[in-house]
Amino acid sequence: MKIKLILCLVLILSGGLFGCSIVNESPRQYISRSTNPAELSEVSWYEKPSLETLQNIKVTRVSLTKPELNKLTALPKDPTNGASWLVEEDPDTMRDGPWKTHLYIFDNSDTNHCAHVELIDHVSGGVKHTWLNDKILFVEVWWGHAGWTDFILNTETCKIIYMEDGFWNVLTDDNMPDSPKK
């Protein structure tokens, strides 16, 4: 009797563990079908960030020298509600890439130290950011015409709390899901 109970438990646990180890890795897709027949439909999808993405986004806490601080305070500030502020140092896109954008996030209580986000090798005009609250920042970085990364940064801890790569494409009648083939 005891052996049967142990065998049943082993069978249940091994089946549960096997079932838990299967993960659906397929990306989420979003299809936007146009109501205008002259316009093509679009599809976008998200995936786990690639190794290249992880190498091109660097987040650190830095100490600034007086000349560095003076340079950054001369740039336009993007305030939240007074608790912290952000300075974006854009690349010179008149020169050949790769381009880097630097985001410096300051806390009003300590302007000699800041969170520093370095975004490496993106396209022209490819960085947008939005404050979600006093310490959480949403950032979108475009790497090319059809690929980008979304991430959410806790600016107090310098930890990325969400990150996914996104992709975009136009669908034609030939590659549209659920459309009849001609």
Average confidence score pLDDT of the chain: 78
Residue 117 in contact with residue 102, Cβ under 8 Å?
yes
Q: Is the dihedral of CA 6, 12, 14, 20 positive or negative?
A: negative
> What is the per-residue pLDDT across 122-160, written as a single tens digit (0 to 9) for each?
887 789 999 998 889 999 999 887 889 999 999 999 999
Closest of 117, 127, 58, 116 to residue 93, by C-alpha: 127
Highest-scoring range by mean pLDDT, 26-30, 123-127, 128-132, 175-179:
128-132
Which pLDDT belongs to residue 87?
87
Which pLDDT belongs to residue 141?
94
- pLDDT bin (cut points 50, 70, 90) of residue 98 is confident
136: β partners: 154
Which pLDDT belongs to residue 95?
83
- Number of other CB atoms surrounding residue 18 within 10 Å: 9
pTM exceeds 0.75 = no
The pLDDT of 60-70, averaged and rounded, is: 90
Residue 18 in this model has a pLDDT that exceeds 50: no
Residue 63 in this model has a pLDDT that exceeds 50: yes
Cα separation, 161 vs 153, whole angstroms: 6
